[in-house]
A and B are shown apart, each in its own frame.
Chain A
Amino acid sequence: MRVFGKLALLAICGAAASYAVALSTPYWFKPKAEAHVDVTDPSLIQQGEYLAHAGDCVACHTAPGGKPFAGGLGMQTPMGTIYSTNITPDRTTGIGLYTYGDFERAVRKGIRPDGTHLYPAMPYVSYAVVRDDDVKALYAYFMSSVEKARQVNQPTTMPWPLSMRWPLAWWQLMFAQPRDFTTTATDPQFERGAYLVEGLAHCGACHTPRGIAFQETALADGPNSRFLSGSVLEGWYAKNLRDEGTGLSTWTTAEIVDFLKTGRNDKTAAFGSMSDVVEHSTQHLLTEDLSAIASYLKSLKPRDGRSPTSQPKEDLTTAALKAGDFSAPGATSYVEHCAVCHRMDGKGAPRIYPALAGNSMVFADDPSSLIQVTLAGGRMPKTTHDAMVFTMPGFSHLPNREIAEVLNFIRNGWGNHGSQITEADISRMRHEIARKPKHYVPGDKK
Chain B
Amino acid sequence: MTSRSLLFSGIAITAIIAAGGAFILMHQPTLDAPVGDAIAVLDANGKRIGDYRVPADSTIATEPNAEAILLGKRLLNETARLLPANVGNGLNCNSCHMGQGKLSDANPYINTTNTYPSFNPRANREIELSMRINGCLQRSMNGKPLAADSTEMHAMLSYMNWLRQDVVKGTKVAVRNAGPIDESLVPDPQRGRTIYAAQCAACHGANGQGMKDQAGDYIFPPLWGDDSFNIGAGLARTYKAAQFVKYAMPPAMHLNAPLGAGGVLSDQDALDVAEFFTHMPRPDFAGKVNDWKGLKKPKDARY
Contact = CB atoms under 8 A, between A and B. Distances in A.
Contact of A402 (B6, B58, B215, B255): B58
Interface in A396-422: 396-400, 402
A395 B257 contact: yes
Contact of B252 (A332, A353, A427): A353
Contact of B33 (A391, A393, A398, A431): A398
A434 B202 CA distance: 34
Given A335-B57, A352-B203, A397-B36, A326 B254 contact: no
A211 interface: no
Contacts of A376: 255
Contacts of A428: 28
A388 B250 contact: yes
A400 B259 contact: no
B70 A326 contact: yes
Interface residues of B, number: 52
B256 interface: yes
B32 A393 contact: no
A446 B58 contact: no
A349 interface: yes
A386 B202 contact: yes
Contact of B32 (A347, A395, A399): A399
Interface stretch (A162-170, A177-185, A235-243, A338-346): A338-346
Contacts of B96: none
A398 B58 CA distance: 12
A388 B77 CA distance: 26
Interface in A141-188: none
A213 interface: no
Contact of A397 (B28, B33, B202): B33
Contacts of A28: none
Given A1-B3, A324-B70, A324-B74, A337 B252 contact: no
A400 B32 contact: yes
A207 B259 CA distance: 31
A393 B28 contact: no
Nearest to A396: B33
Given A335-B77, A337-B258, A390-B252, A430 B32 contact: yes
Contacts of A431: 28, 31
B4 A3 contact: yes
B263 A446 contact: yes
Interface centre among B78, B81, B264 (most CB of A within 10 A): B78
Contacts of A36: none
A336 interface: yes
A394 B71 contact: no
Nearest to A400: B32
Contacts of B258: 337, 393, 395
Contacts of A397: 33-34, 36, 257
A101 interface: no
A445 B257 CA distance: 13
Contacts of A3: 3-4, 7
B70 A349 contact: no
A126 to B, nearest CB: 31
Contacts of A400: 30, 32-33
A444 B256 contact: yes
A394 B74 contact: no
Contacts of A336: 56-57, 100
A332 B260 contact: no
A446 B254 contact: yes
B116 interface: no
A333 interface: yes
A388 B203 CA distance: 10
Given A336-B56, A427-B32, 16 more contacts: A2-B3, A322-B78, A349-B211, A349-B213, A349-B219, A376-B255, A379-B255, A390-B253, A391-B254, A391-B260, A392-B252, A395-B257, A397-B36, A400-B32, A402-B58, A427-B30
17 contacts: A1-B6, A335-B77, A336-B100, A340-B94, A340-B259, A349-B213, A353-B252, A379-B255, A388-B198, A393-B260, A394-B255, A394-B257, A397-B257, A400-B32, A402-B58, A442-B255, A446-B255
Interface of A: 1-4, 322, 324, 326, 332-333, 335-337, 339-341, 343, 345, 347, 349, 352-353, 376-377, 379, 386-388, 390-400, 402, 423-424, 426-428, 430-431, 434, 442, 444-446
7 interchain residue pairs of minimum CB distance: A393-B260, A430-B31, A377-B255, A393-B257, A390-B252, A446-B254, A336-B57
